[in-house]
Amino acid sequence: MRKSESSTSTRTFVRGRACALSAGLLAALAVCLLPAAAQTPSFSVQATQFNPNAILPGGTTSSNVSVNSDAGFTGTVTLACQVAPQQTAPATTPACEVSQSVVTPPGGASATITTNGNASTIAYTVTITGTDGSGNTATQNLSLSVIPVTPSFNITVAKAVSPSSVTAGNGAQGTININPVYGYISPSGGITLSCASITPLVTIPPVCSFDPPAVNIGGPITSLSTLTISTYGPVITGSLARPRWMYALWLPLPMLALAGLGAATGGKGSRKAWGLLALFIVSGSFLLVPACGNTNTTKTTPNGITPANTYTLTIQGVDANGVTSTNTGTTSSSPTVTLAVTAPQ
């Protein structure tokens, strides 16, 4: 009985071992065969984080996208870019475009996000997808935020100041444009324009004026205003005397009449003498012309004279609520114009 049990136990053990060996062979075969199926040529898509990853409405940002081949992939990859809000879908979603839609690995492209002034200020998920000719895909998700802004307005120079150089006492004109930003609407009373600063500092600087001095804008509506820059110089206070050179031409008439009478009554020799005398009288009358004219003027400088210099004037607007113009997205916070002033003669 023990022998039988032992034999049964051995047979069971042997069978169990045989089964284990069979499973091991199958696993080994699977390991050998699976790589051939799993290592199908493929590709990968990698993208850098957007720089900057937080933008204002109307701003832009971009990411560098790299496409690489795995296991000998030799096909092409089509790139696409989609933007989805992470919260309730806004009225306007930023747009995403890739610089090159079809890429052969290893290769790359750039993904650019553009927004307009109505873009919702929330967080977004940007999905960059690559698809090969067989329909296989690879994706990468990036984050992007559109940050809140306050509606405002900016000022730009529509027409440069002309002339660019004047003599003290004269002026120049230019045109400026007042533009709403992020849906700004001017309040009642509009936007008052002024020259916030004039450099260099002098005792009698140029003076700014605007026509109209206050404007109203809102939504897509912009407005123009004419900028006039005036300078101080000499002022003519005495009247200009009327030239009296015509009177000088009347002075020789009596003498010419006498010479003509003498020539008519005299002989041939006397006529020649009277003719020379008449020529002398006419010539002398022209010498008297400068003495009969008066071109002297009287000038004064009641307000002083603007010193000769090149002046930089900063233009600014302030609305009835105290909001000041800001040139977001431009090279300076407020536009400037320049005017060269020369000394009067």
| Same domain (yes/no): 79, 204 | no
Please classify residue 203 by burial: count the beta carbons closer than 10 Å to its beta carbon, then call 0-12 exposed, 13-18 middle and 19+ buried. exposed
pLDDT for residue 171: 96
**Model confidence pLDDT, tens digit, residues 322-338:** 999 876 444 445 789 99
Q: Are residues 112 and 205 in the same domain?
A: no
62, 108: one domain: yes
Range 318-322, long-range pairs (CB < 8 A, 24+ positions)? 318/191, 318/192, 318/194, 319/153, 319/186, 319/187, 319/189, 319/190, 319/191, 319/192, 320/186, 320/187, 320/188, 320/189, 320/190, 321/187
Q: What is the pLDDT of residue 107?
A: 92
Low-confidence spans in the chain with pLDDT less than 70: 1-40, 89-91, 238-297, 327-333
Q: Name the domain boundary from 146, 162, 193.
A: 146
Residue 261 sits at φ, ψ, to 5 deg, of -65, -40
Asked whether residue 20 is domain-assigned, the answer is no
Residues 176 and 210 in one domain: yes
According to the model, what pLDDT value does residue 259 have? 57
Judgement on whether residues 80 and 165 belong to the same structural domain of the protein: no
pLDDT of residue 14: 40
Q: 242: part of which helix (H) or strand (E)?
A: none
pLDDT at site 184: 86
In a domain, 55, yes or no: yes
Return the DSSP state at 176: E
Give the DSSP per-residue string, 7-60: HHHHHHHHHHHHHHHHHHHHHHHHHHHHHHHHT--EEEEEEPPPBSSEE-TT-E
The CATH number linked to 130 is: 2.60.40.3880
Task: Please give the pLDDT value at position 120.
Answer: 82
At residue 256, what are phi and psi to the nearest 5 degrees?
-65, -35
Which range of residues forms the domain containing residue 323? 152-235+301-342
User: pTM of the predicted model, to two decimals?
Assistant: 0.52
Token output for 113: 């996000």
State how many domains the chain has.
3
Q: Specify the pLDDT at position 145.
A: 92
